[in-house]
Amino acid sequence: MATLSYTHETMPESSEEFQHQLAEAMAASNPIDDLLELAAELRGFEEKYEMASDEFYRKYNAGILNEELQHCMEWASFYRMYSKTRRAIENALMRAAVYPAIEPVTPSHEKVIAEQDMVAA
């Protein structure tokens, strides 16, 4: 996941500088790595509370967990991020499978020039 950490000395001097750094961090981010990091976080909660994340989240939303777990917003947040990231990856893979790469459209005048070059050669 794209993260930025600052100390008092390394704090960006302007909002533009921060936005630039954030954009760079997000561009370098890999959704597969993000999914694996989130899955590791979920495994930690699952081991600690001996419950699968999907079961926890269903009960969390229904409000039927014990007091300790009902206030575990961090686990719920990680589960939402995991689900959202997983759906985004699945959708991207589905689009790639359904809509394979299409040749870029070349303007007709460029085609004519290319054909003339081929004839001249």
pLDDT for position 3: 72
Residue 67 confidence (pLDDT) = 84
Q: Where are the alpha helices (DSSP H) in the chain?
A: 15-28, 31-49, 53-62, 67-70, 73-98, 108-120
Counted domains in the chain = 1
pLDDT value of residue 115: 57
What distance in Å separates the CA atoms of residue 75 and residue 113, rounded to the nearest whole number? 60
The whole domain housing 55 covers 16-99
Residue 48 lies in a domain: yes
Instruction: Determine the distance from the C-alpha atom of residue 53 to the mean position of all C-alpha atoms in its chain, rounded to a whole number.
Output: 19
In a domain, 116, yes or no: no
The answer to the question of residue 45 being in a domain is yes
In a domain, 3, yes or no: no
Average pLDDT, consecutive stretches of 10 residues, N- to C-terminus, the chain (121 residues): 78 87 77 93 96 95 87 93 94 84 58 56 53
Residue 112 lies in a domain: no
